[in-house]
Copies of this chain bind each other. A is one copy, B any other.
C-alpha cells in the first residue's frame, strides 16, 4: 500500500542497516529499549501521526490562529490530537527520565518526531516546545526552578517559548532593548516588546514559561550584556499551582506565507510595569544559555525541512504512480497507444529520483549527526574534536536541509502540475510551511557566517579534517566494490576539491579580502552539503550492495537496487554540478563587494 509521511522501509534502513542504532541500544542507559520496543514505538508513532495528526494539517492551515479578547486560539481540531500526544507521552519520548521524559535513544525519539512533524509541524511544535525551555532550566536553573518547571514543561502541561527577536534586533541579537530592573526580593521587572515569538500564547497549555533575553539596567551594550529570565504567563506558587496573571501579553499574530496554524506572536512585557521575571543562570550569560537551546532548535529546523521533503516526495510519488497522462515515449509515434502513469515519463522520473536522492541523503545525514551527538553523550569523555565535529555539522544540517527540503517540496508541486498548485493536495502547503526553515533560528546568511568564521577552523581544523577522514573511509570501502568504484573515485576527487577551496576560502577569510570570502560563504556551505549527500548515498549503496550479494527477498532487492541507482544518479549529475559550484568559489570573484551601492540600481 502507498505510504505517507515517511518511507518506513527507508527509515528502518537508516536506523538499523546504515547507522549502528543496535550498538547504541547496548548502552546501559537504554536498557529498557531493544529493537523490538523501538519498532513498536515507531509503529505507534506512525499510526498516530497518520490517523490523528495528519487530518488536522489542512484544516489547521485554513483556520489559522485567532487572537480574540487577548486569548490566542489554535485551530479547534488541534485539541484532540494534542491530548492524545500528551497522554501518549510522545512529546517527551527523547527527554531524559530525570527530566520526566521517556529517555529513548535519540535516533528513536527523532524518528517519532519526524513522523509528527511531517503530519503537522505546527501541532507537534505546541506539544514539544516546552522541552527546550526545560532543558535550559535543567542545566542552568536553581534547584527550586528545576522542581517547579521542568516536569511540567516536558509533560506538555505547560508550554515553553523563546523571546529573542525584537523589531530592531533580529539577526543582530545584541541590539535588543528589552530591559530588566532588579527588585529588592531578587526578582526582576521586565519591560520590552518582542516579535516573531512561536507559540507566544495559545490555549493548549495551562501555563507558558517564557525564557526572555533582556539587558539588566546598567549592563553593557551588545551581546555580552544580555541576561536571560524566566517569565511565566501565570505566576507560579511555591507548590506549583498557578497564581496571578503576569504582565506579559500577546498583542498581535503575524499573517504569514505558511505555518498558519502556528501562533507567531508579538509579545509586550510590562505594559503595566508589572512583568515579573526570574534570572536563569548568571547575569550576562544569556547568550550562552540561549545558544544551548538554539543549537537543538537548529537541528530541529533541519528535521523540519527533512520531514516536509519526505512527506512531499511520497505525495508526488504516489500521484505519479496513479496519474495517467500521455503515452509512453516508446509508443510516441503510435497515436493509438495506451496512456501510462506519469512515473513512466523520463522527465518525471528524473525529478522523482532527484527528490528521492535528496530525501535519502538528508535523512542519512540527519541520523548520522544524531548518532554523533548520542556518542558524544554516551562517551562522557569530552573529546574536543568530536564536539567540534558535531558543531561543524550543525549549520549544514540547519541550512542545507532547510533549503533542499524546500526544493523537494517545490518539485513535488511540479510533479502534480496544475493540481499541485491547488489546495486540493497538501504539497502546496508543505512548500509554504517549509519556506520558514531557512529563515528562523538563524537565516541562511547567519549559518554561512557561522560555518566559515567559527566552524571550519575549529580545533585548528581538526573538526573539518575529521569530516574528510570519515568520507574517505566510505570511499575506501566503496572502491572495493567494482560497481561502486567509479562513483567513489568521483567523490574522492570532489572531496579533494572541497579541501582545496576550504583552504582557499579559509585563508581569504583571515586576509584583507575577508569580505569577499564571506560573499562566497553560503555557496561554500551548500557545496559541503552536496558532498555530504554524495557521501551518504554512496554509503547507502555500499550497505545495499552487500545485502544484495548475500541474497534477499524480491521486495528488498528493489529497495537495495534503488539505493544503487540513487547513488549513481546523484554522483553523476548533482555532484558534477557541485564541482562547477566549487570552481566558482575558487574564482573568488569580488564583484559583490566591489560594486558601488548605487550600482545595484533602483534609484
Contact = CB atoms under 8 A, between A and B. Distances in A.
Interface of A: 1-3, 7, 9-10, 165, 168, 170-172, 174-175, 195-196, 221-222, 224, 254-258, 264, 313-314, 317-318, 321, 324-327, 329-330, 335-336, 339, 343, 345-353, 356, 410, 413-414, 417-418, 420-424, 428, 431-432, 435-436, 438-440, 443-445, 448-449, 514-523, 555, 558-559, 561-562, 565-566, 568-569, 572-574, 576-581, 583-584, 587, 589, 591-603
Contacts of A576: 580-581, 583-584, 587
Contacts of A444: 347, 414
**Closest CB pairs A-B (n = 5):** A580-B580, A562-B599, A576-B584, A572-B589, A558-B598
A371 to B, nearest CB: 22
Given A3-B603, A257-B423, 18 more contacts: A2-B603, A257-B413, A257-B421, A343-B597, A347-B449, A350-B519, A351-B522, A353-B591, A356-B600, A561-B596, A562-B599, A568-B589, A569-B591, A573-B584, A574-B584, A576-B587, A579-B580, A580-B583
Given A326-B171, A602-B2, A428 B257 contact: yes
Given A346-B519, A579-B580, A326 B423 contact: no
B171 A417 contact: yes
A561 B597 CA distance: 11
A572 B587 contact: yes
A598 B329 CA distance: 20
Given A347-B521, A418-B440, A573-B589, A221 B257 contact: no
Contacts of A324: 168
B439 A418 contact: yes
A448 B348 CA distance: 11
B562 A598 contact: yes
A594 B346 CA distance: 10
A10 B601 contact: yes
B254 A592 contact: no
Nearest to A594: B565
Contacts of A326: 171-172
Contacts of A171: 325-326, 417
A146 B525 CA distance: 60
22 contacts: A7-B601, A171-B417, A172-B326, A175-B325, A195-B418, A224-B335, A256-B423, A257-B431, A314-B602, A329-B514, A329-B518, A330-B515, A345-B445, A346-B593, A350-B519, A353-B592, A559-B599, A561-B595, A562-B601, A574-B584, A576-B587, A580-B583
A256 B577 contact: no
Judged by DSSP, the binding face of A is: helix
Contacts of A565: 591, 594-595, 599
Given A325-B171, A418-B196, A569 B584 contact: no
Contacts of A440: 418
Contact of A417 (B2, B424, B443, B558): B443
Contact of A346 (B352, B516, B603): B516
Contacts of A589: 568-569, 572-573
A414 B439 contact: yes
A314 to B, nearest CB: 5
Contacts of A516: 346
Contact of A347 (B254, B448, B573, B581): B448
Contacts of A581: 576-577, 580
B596 A562 contact: yes
A565 B440 CA distance: 31
A455 to B, nearest CB: 16
Contacts of A558: 596, 598-599
Contacts of A522: 347, 350-351
Contacts of A255: 422-424
Nearest to A175: B339
Nearest to A517: B346
A516 B580 CA distance: 22
A349 B432 contact: no
Contact of A418 (B170, B335, B420, B519): B170
A322 to B, nearest CB: 12
A346 B7 CA distance: 40
Contacts of A561: 595-596, 599
A61 B64 CA distance: 17
Contacts of A417: 170-171, 439, 443
B600 A343 contact: yes
B520 A445 contact: no
B7 A602 contact: yes
Contact of A572 (B347, B423, B579, B591): B591
B568 A256 contact: no
B592 A421 contact: no
A436 B418 CA distance: 8
